[in-house]
Amino acid sequence: MISEFIIQNAPALLIAVPLLGAFLSPLIGRISRDVRALWVLAIITLTTLLGLLVAYLVYTGGTLIYVFGAAAPTLSIPMDSGGIPIRIILTLDALSALMVIMTVTVGFSVILYSLSSDSRRSGLEAYYTLFLLLIASVLGMFTTGDLFNFFVFLEISSLAAAGLVAYKVEKGKAVEAGLKFLMVSAIGGVFFLLATGILYGQYNALNIAMLASMIQWTPLDKLALVLIIVALAAKCGSVPMHYWTPDAYSMAPAAVTAMLVVVSQASLYGLFRFCFTLYGLTLTYAVIGWTLITLGVLSMVVGVTMAIPQKDIKRLMAYHSISQTGYMLLGVGVGLAVLGDQALLSSYGFTAIEGGIFHIFNNALYKGLLFLTAGAVILRIGTSDMNRMGGLGHNMKWTMILFIIGALAIAGIPPFNGFASKFLIYESVFAFNPILSIIAMVVSILTLASFVKVFHSVFMGPRLPEYADVKEAPASLLIGMAILSGLVIITGLFPEFFVQHLIAPAAHALADQSGYLAAVLGGA
């Protein structure tokens, strides 16, 4: 009975549980710190289980619909509405499910990590409220089937993330970073709402599937798409709008930074979702595809070249995030550029989309891991300046091993997961345009060079006198990092399994607009 209820309402509970948990945590935190930690842990565990359940349901039973307030949760079009889906709707296809899996695994690991690394700070009641709110909003962005709700979750994620970025204050520097992030997000949000208004004004609908079935590619639709691309590309930290990324990523607490990576991917997901599912074949796919490719190549090159001279370890990693975002834009952009051509799509377009999506998933894992290891180092020695680090490998062996796993994964060295997704991207992009593929490989080599430098200056060398009695990171940090590194290794060792069972369905769901429409609007 109860399990039936949970299965039926799982998509709604997936958002409701962290949301309620967020607002109850300050109240429960009044009892004691330990009770609050247990509460937060319980909520995130429950959310993780729900997320995995939802993903299982989607991968076994196909696209999942959840309509709020309807007679039955799957009744997207009420009988008396004349064929218009008027209610708030959650739509989960295989791509959403994959993103949910990514969010809950990273969310679970970073909360475990944060319970120990941030336990001494003040203001924790607000911290965990914002953290759970951030997770809830990201899950909302991945699961919603409605343009306006996407905007609402986008704004919730901006506000929560800005609060978390500014949380440490750090003589005002963290607040400055938070303000930059909030400013970019707020302007992006306004643009996104304007696009929503333009589409609503023309088609009287907010439901993505309903809009997609009517969209025309009029000049106003073009304007709306431009606004959407600008807003979401700014929020995912793609190059012309990337300046907030290094500031926000370097000033936030490490656990928050790892989560911010997932938040950026949520905007990227929105970008892909709207290009493929909302506009689909109506847009001039070659032009928009090349736009994404250009953004991607710029992000890759600028990100990695800016990363090399950095002295602050988290700032360096933040520039690498920009560069990794470029790979995803490149992969999916190539897929979009050949969307209308069935022959090219099946020869390399799908592979490119698979590569891009797989890279989103892998990046969240290894980038999260790298930020967490950086956080562990900073926690133990109290500085993020790499010129003042050295010889930490003697005292922090486990952290060093975990860092090596993350660094090799980001550089695309087999057998780690970065290699698997980058290989898919190289292979398919080479068939599309060899020069792009060569750029991607060069960027990868530069990434490796940069991480060799980090590794050498942080962990190698003789034991420094001032760090002679530095201790290994606490167990809870190591467990959080070990979960992520375990997944990095597993996805790297068995890429075929993951591509076949998780990534390929997601890529097909993204490219298959009619399937999405049929799931929401009925067998049209």
Partner 1 sequence: MFLNLPFIVVVLLALIGIATILLKRNLIKIFLGLTILTSSVNLFLVTLGYREGGIAPIYTLSPAGVMVLPTPHALTLTNIVIGVATTALMLSFAVIIYRRYGTVNVDEIRELRE
Query: Contact residues for partner 1 (CB under 8 A)?
Result: 148, 152, 155, 158-159, 162-163, 166, 169, 171-173, 175-179, 182-183, 186-187, 189-190, 193-194, 196-197, 200-201, 204, 206, 246-247, 250-251, 310, 315
Residue 123: how many CB atoms within 10 A of its CB? 10
Lookup: tokens for 464: 């420094």
Transcribe 279-348 into DSSP letters.
IGGGS-HHHHHHHHHHHHHHHHHHHHHHHTT--BHHHHHHHHHHHHHHHHHHHHHHHHHTTT-HHHIIII
Rank residues 155 and 221 by Cβ distance to partner 1 and give the closer one.
Answer: 155
Cβ nearer to partner 1, comparing 173 with 394: 173
Minimum distance of partner 1 from residue 291's CB (angstroms)? 22
Rg (CA), the chain: 22
Give dist(CA 156, CA 164) in Å, integer.
12
- The end-to-end CA distance of the chain, in Å, is 34
Q: Report the alpha-carbon distance of residue 60 to residue 275 in Å, rounded.
A: 26
**CA angle (256, 259, 263) in 5-degree steps:** 125
For 120, half-sphere exposure in the C-beta direction (CA atoms, 13 angstrom radius) is 2
Half-sphere exposure of 503 (CA within 13 A, CB side): 25
Give least dist CB 260 to partner 1, A.
16
Cis peptide upstream of residue 415 (ω within 30 degrees of 0): yes
Q: Quote the least distance from Cβ 250 to partner 1, whole Å.
A: 8
CA distance 103 to 468: 38
CB neighbour class for 32 (10 Å; exposed up to 12, middle 13-18, buried from 19): exposed
Proportion of the chain in helix, strand, coil states, percent, rounded to 5: 80, 0, 15
Closest CB to partner 1 among 32 and 81? Answer: 81
Q: How far is the CB of 379 from partner 1 (least distance, A)?
A: 21
Provide, rounded to whole angstroms, the least separation between the CB of residue 221 and partner 1: 15
Are the C-beta atoms of residues 22 and 39 closer than 8 Å to each other? no
- Give me the least distance between CB of 506 and partner 1, in Å please: 30
Shortest distance (Å) from residue 251 CB to partner 1: 7
- Specify the residue, 165 or 292, whose C-beta has the smaller distance to partner 1: 165
Q: Which is nearer to partner 1, 173 or 508 (CB)?
A: 173
37 or 88, CB closer to partner 1? 88
Least CB distance to partner 1 at residue 179 (A): 4
Q: How far is the CB of 463 from partner 1 (least distance, A)?
A: 30
Cβ-based neighbour number of residue 30 at 10 Å: 9
From the CB of 197, what's the least distance to partner 1, in Å? 5
Report whether 212 contacts 280 (CB < 8 A): yes
* Cβ distance to partner 1 smaller for residue 175 or 344: 175
Among residues 110 and 177, whose Cβ is nearest to partner 1? 177
Integer CA distances (angstroms), 13 to 23, 152, 377, 407, 432, in order? 15, 18, 37, 36, 42
DSSP 470: P
Q: Taking the complex as a whole, how short is the minimal distance between the CB of residue 302 and partner 1, in angstroms?
A: 14
What is the nearest approach in angstroms of partner 1 to the Cβ of residue 496?
42
For residue 405, give Cα distances in angstroms to 77, 328, 449, 455: 49, 21, 15, 11
Query: Position 197: which residue type?
Result: G
Comparing CB distances to partner 1, the nearer of 64 and 229 is 229
Quick one: 59 or 203, whose CB is closer to partner 1? 203
From the CB of residue 131, how many other CB atoms can be counted at a distance below 10 Å? 30
